[in-house]
Chain A
Amino acid sequence: MFSSSKATATAGRKRVGRRSPLATVSLIVVGLLTTGGAYALFTSTATAETGSGTTSAVSQDKVNEGQKLFAANCATCHNMSGSGTTEGPSLIGVGAAAVDFQVGTGRMPAAANGPQALEKPVQFTNEQIQAMAAYVASLGTGPSEPQSKYLKENGNAANGAELFRINCAMCHNVAGAGGALTEGKFAPSLKGVSSKHIYEAMLTGPQNMPVFNDMNITPQDKADIITYLKYLEKNPSPGGFQLGDLGPVSEGLFIWIFGLGAIVAITVWLTARSH
């Protein structure tokens, strides 16, 4: 017994230091931290430089600036010429509106391959987004960013509601709360999305959303839809608790838990003896 414990002790002593299995792991961790930290430092300074440089840029400068940003941040998947690879679609002809939507909501650059690029904190300043949009727009004609007169949220909310029910509600839910699609994809909630981004999404059909061009839904109709969505955001539901506007799922869960729970509790109390 004594000898065996001694053997373990010596084995333990042998495994410390350079030959410990933990040494490899910690070496990797240290290496990753150093390179990652240096990279982060480098990219953040680079971002700061470009951010201040584009303030008074003329159009061609803007395009050139955008091309640099594109080469650094987008070209891995979309190719240096923007013609697309197996990882990402061609951006020729998608227009400035698509760039402003995708980059302006943080969906691009995508963090990882998946069913759907998710909304994230925005990675670029507004000027950088404008520069990339100008560059992508120069690759081929496509929808440009919407005129501000359609984003004023003062259209006809009733007409917008009808159009929303016909064209949008099947995926985005009648209250704009979003909903599930196939194989892990989903239509996001429209609450808190800026008018400009809603307009651009209809115009360009990001990811799996169909395109609703100006012949299908006219700019004024798009303004009406935006008015309806903003009306929903500003006005409380007349029916009391909204429970996420998700319809029968959340409402059913609520009544099963709290309604039936209350009935069970009362039944137990009714038949229990007074102590």
Chain B
Amino acid sequence: MADHDDETLAGSAVEKAEPQKISAGTAVIPADPFENPGEPQHHIRMTDKDPAEEKRAARQVSTLFFASIVFSCLAVAAYIAFPIKDGDTGSIRLNNLFLGLGIALGLLAIGIGAVHWSKAIMPAREITEQRHLTRGSDATRAKAVEVFELGNKESGFGRRSLIRNSLFGALFAFILPGVVIFRDLGPKVDPNVVLRHTLWKKGMHLTLDPSGTRIKAADVTLGSAFHVIPESLLDSEDLLEEKAKAAVLLMRLKPEDLHEPEGREDWQYNGIVAYSKICTHVGCPVALYEQQTHHLLCPCHQSTFDVTENCKVIFGPASRPLPQLPITVDDQGYLVAQSDFHEPVGPSFWERDRA
């Protein structure tokens, strides 16, 4: 490897730039510059020493390329052997799986073969390439200035101020539409209008999700949890959006277990309480109800609410209790809402506290 500085070898004919002389006034010259460690010691590979090894490596590379051919052919064969049949999702799975495996392994074999080829068989030689200087030669710079000046003279860019300034104006105006459409990233309607109210209102029947059948108070036995939607939801145009706000969990506890705050004692009916199912943290459905401990757990971030204490937060990142839906019964004994929620359901939003 004594000849590895030979100028005629491919790969070593690099343009070499001498480092510029820097004047002491413009640069910090370290008193004890870090010594260039030079190139690492040249490593002689098995394939350099032993022709048998080199032959073996060459065989491995060609085997990988042949394997790639085989995998690509297998992908084609799999596409024919496992056709996608209408209405059979299993056939899509088989087709995609084997087609994808064939293509992926085909490409992987080419890649591994190419890297192995370059690492084991192609000549191993350390070379150094100096960085080019970023500053052009004085002649190049003078030529560039000349081109600019000629352009200015011939176009009259500096002289014809009306054309120039109107062009500036046009370019500025062209950007405006792009800026204006950023508005679409913001909310479509004022969140204060859409988030403040749900479908619940006075006299709205509580109905079962998903069937929409009304719920008799007597049917809600102790320890029960009913997943509830407002009766008008199933006829609603924006069913999912309205459900995302109006979903309610109905539970029955022993009346003596409930500690309702003053003024809200009649929001429950014989121990039946209804709370918003939308977590006040980021709006996951809170419905993991433990009927003995009366804990309500949110599955997303483990916020835990105590149903006996008006759903106050006893653990986790939620910062507000779940809003309670005031309920009562109609003259036939079916559960109805007394009103909408008295506060916005779900997570916080800007100006939520605005009256």
Interface set of A (CB-CB < 8 Å, partner B): 162-163, 166-167, 170-171, 179, 181-183, 185, 187, 205, 207-213, 215-216, 238-240, 269-270, 273-275
- Cβ contact within 8 Å between B299 and A179: yes
Chain B residues contacting A215 (CB-CB under 8 Å) are 215-216, 219-220
The answer to the question of B115 belonging to the interface, with a C-beta cut-off of 8 Å to chain A, is yes
When the two chains form the complex, which single residue of A167, A238, A269 contacts B90, counting CB atoms closer than 8 Å? A238
10 cross-chain pairs, A with B, having the tightest CB-CB distances, nearest first: A210-B225, A215-B219, A208-B290, A274-B119, A211-B223, A274-B120, A170-B287, A211-B224, A210-B291, A208-B292
The answer to the question of B104 belonging to the interface, with a C-beta cut-off of 8 Å to chain A, is no
Complex CA distance for A167 and B293, rounded to whole angstroms: 19
- Cβ contact within 8 Å between A182 and B304: yes
A151: min CB distance to chain B, Å: 22
Task: Decide yes or no: A166 and B210 within 8 Å by CB, A171-B288, A275-B46 being known contacts.
Answer: yes
Chain A residues contacting B46 (CB-CB under 8 Å) are 274-275
Main secondary structure of the interface of B (DSSP, over half): mixed
- Cβ contact within 8 Å between B89 and A238: yes
- Cβ contact within 8 Å between B297 and A181: yes
When the two chains form the complex, which single residue of A182, A270, A275 contacts B293, counting CB atoms closer than 8 Å? A182
- Cβ contact within 8 Å between A185 and B290: yes
The answer to the question of B222 belonging to the interface, with a C-beta cut-off of 8 Å to chain A, is yes
A204: min CB distance to chain B, Å: 9
The answer to the question of B93 belonging to the interface, with a C-beta cut-off of 8 Å to chain A, is yes
The answer to the question of B251 belonging to the interface, with a C-beta cut-off of 8 Å to chain A, is yes
What are 11 sample pairs from A and B whose C-beta atoms fall under 8 A apart? A170-B285, A181-B297, A182-B295, A210-B223, A212-B225, A213-B219, A238-B89, A274-B46, A274-B47, A274-B119, A275-B46
Chain A residues contacting B292 (CB-CB under 8 Å) are 207-208
Chain B residues contacting A269 (CB-CB under 8 Å) are 115
Chain B residues contacting A162 (CB-CB under 8 Å) are 210
- Cβ contact within 8 Å between B93 and A238: yes
Most buried by B among A187, A208, A210, A213: A210
The answer to the question of B260 belonging to the interface, with a C-beta cut-off of 8 Å to chain A, is no
Nearest residue (CB) in B for A163 is B210
Complex CA distance for A240 and B97, rounded to whole angstroms: 10
Task: Decide yes or no: A273 and B223 within 8 Å by CB, A181-B297, A208-B290, A208-B293 being known contacts.
Answer: no
Chain B residues contacting A239 (CB-CB under 8 Å) are 93
The answer to the question of B221 belonging to the interface, with a C-beta cut-off of 8 Å to chain A, is yes
- Cβ contact within 8 Å between B224 and A212: yes
Task: Decide yes or no: A211 and B222 within 8 Å by CB, A162-B210, A166-B209, A179-B299 being known contacts.
Answer: yes
The answer to the question of B160 belonging to the interface, with a C-beta cut-off of 8 Å to chain A, is no
Chain B residues contacting A170 (CB-CB under 8 Å) are 285, 287-288, 299
Chain A residues contacting B43 (CB-CB under 8 Å) are 273
Chain A residues contacting B120 (CB-CB under 8 Å) are 274
- Cβ contact within 8 Å between A208 and B291: yes
Chain B residues contacting A210 (CB-CB under 8 Å) are 223-225, 251, 289, 291
Nearest residue (CB) in B for A217 is B208
Q: Mark B233-262, 1 if CB is under 8 A from A, else 0.
A: 000000000000000000100000000000
Chain B residues contacting A163 (CB-CB under 8 Å) are 210
The answer to the question of B269 belonging to the interface, with a C-beta cut-off of 8 Å to chain A, is no
Chain B residues contacting A275 (CB-CB under 8 Å) are 45-46
The answer to the question of B227 belonging to the interface, with a C-beta cut-off of 8 Å to chain A, is yes
Complex CA distance for A163 and B226, rounded to whole angstroms: 12
B64: min CB distance to chain A, Å: 14
Complex CA distance for A212 and B225, rounded to whole angstroms: 7
- Cβ contact within 8 Å between B222 and A216: no
B245: min CB distance to chain A, Å: 17
The answer to the question of B168 belonging to the interface, with a C-beta cut-off of 8 Å to chain A, is no
Complex CA distance for A183 and B297, rounded to whole angstroms: 11
The answer to the question of B315 belonging to the interface, with a C-beta cut-off of 8 Å to chain A, is yes
